[in-house]
Amino acid sequence: VGQAITVTWRGKPVFIRRRTEQEIASAQSVNLAELRDPEPDSARVKQPQWLILVGICTHLGCVPLGQKSTDPRGDYGGWFCPCHGSHYDTAGRIRRGPAPLNLHLPEYAFLTDTSIRIG
């Protein structure tokens, strides 16, 4: 719980984070009217504890920080793109900065409790 890994899929980084109860609660409690690209947390995950995102900022294609425990995670506890200042929350939704859209979601399926297939 609380750990994150980055894998490569189709040449792109994919962020996989096992969210904490606090991260899940934070993502679920957001007022959707405040979001630039409104999307409920439930539409972004298949299982609340697992968040799987394409790790490319939707502004200019940088790779945001936030996968390592020592990385800055921005003002909303998710990811931060230092190139132009985009802040993403614990559901990968854009909250501040120039990025126009949430971090993209790859197609994926849970094969077992401990294995997923991306694509």
In sequence order, what are the beta bridge partners of 65? 80
Is 87 tagged catalytic? no
- Report the candidate in 81, 80, 78, 107 with the shortest Cα–Cα distance to residue 92: 78
In sequence order, what are the beta bridge partners of 87? 80, 96
Q: What is the spatial distance between Cα 42 and Cα 109, in angstroms, rounded to a whole number?
A: 16
Would you state the torsion angle of the CA atoms of residues 5, 3, 43, 97, taken in this order, to the nearest 10 degrees? -80
Q: Which of 59, 84, 87, 104 is catalytic?
A: 84
- Report the candidate in 36, 19, 84, 90 with the shortest Cα–Cα distance to residue 57: 84
Contact 81, 95 (CB under 8 A): no
Q: Which residues are catalytic?
A: 84
